[in-house]
Amino acid sequence: MTAAAPGFRVRLADWARDVEALRRIRHAVFVVEQQVPADLEWDGIDGDCRHALAEDAAGRPIGCGRLLADGHVGRMAVLAPWRGRGVGAALLDRLVEEARRAGQRRVVLNAQTRALGFYARHGFVPFGEEFVEAGIAHRAMERPLD
Ligand SMILES: CC(C)(COP(=O)(O)OP(=O)(O)OC[C@H]1O[C@@H](n2cnc3c(N)ncnc32)[C@H](O)[C@@H]1OP(=O)(O)O)[C@@H](O)C(=O)NCCC(=O)NCCS
């Protein structure tokens, strides 16, 4: 585990071992809060992704994100009471670090339009037109790693 900030920690997670924690966060944030259909949320590729998991001081899961083998970051989610405290930033940093270690030259993501500012503050630049996925407006963004 690596310390990220007082009150929580971010670590790499394993889909098989940490499936319950990862599913609990994404169910609360995407399926319940954002009304993403469950069959879109559980897209069958989690077993092929690297995952980052944030836990509070008691070890309870509070946030997560994933990195695909092609350098795409996705499914960034922080439980509502924990937002605005740097958990999302720490998760994103961890996934970008993983992408760099894996030899990726850039990290790409599809940002919900409302989260563009969050990713822009972490070096991501939007490209292409806005599009709708799971009923939510998105924009592609990238961050070169060179
Ligand atoms: C996007 C998300 C992962 C960010 O996580 P987070 O832990 O709030 O992120 P941080 O605390 O590192 O940064 C959030 C930014 O919003 C600001 N903020 C303040 N209060 C906030 C709140 N209640 N909710 C969200 N953002 C808040 C912070 O100041 C911060 O700005 P900064 O980057 O200039 O410091 C989180 O808001 C979330 O889970 N949203 C719902 C799911 C979602 O939209 N995921 C993204 C899909 S692309």
pTM above 0.75? Answer: yes
In this model, does residue 6 exceed pLDDT 80? no
- The answer to whether 92 and 124 are in contact (CB under 8 A) is no
Q: What angle do CA 142, 144, 146 make, to 5 degrees?
A: 170
User: What value does the mean pLDDT take over residues 18-36?
Assistant: 97
Give me the chain's average pLDDT, please.
Answer: 95
User: What value does the mean pLDDT take over residues 45-63?
Assistant: 97
pLDDT band, residue 4 (cuts 50/70/90): very low
Q: Structural domains in the chain?
A: 2-105 (3.40.630.30)
**135 CA distance to ligand 1 middle (Å):** 20
For β-strands 61-67 and 50-56, DSSP reports them as: antiparallel
- The answer to whether 146 and 48 are in contact (CB under 8 A) is no
**94 CA distance to ligand 1 middle (Å):** 16
In 3D, which of 134, 142, 140 has the Cα closest to residue 31? 134
Question: In the structure, which protein residues have their CB atom closer than 6 angstroms to any atom of ligand 1?
Answer: 29, 76-78, 83-89, 111-112, 115, 118, 121
**102 CA distance to ligand 1 middle (Å):** 26
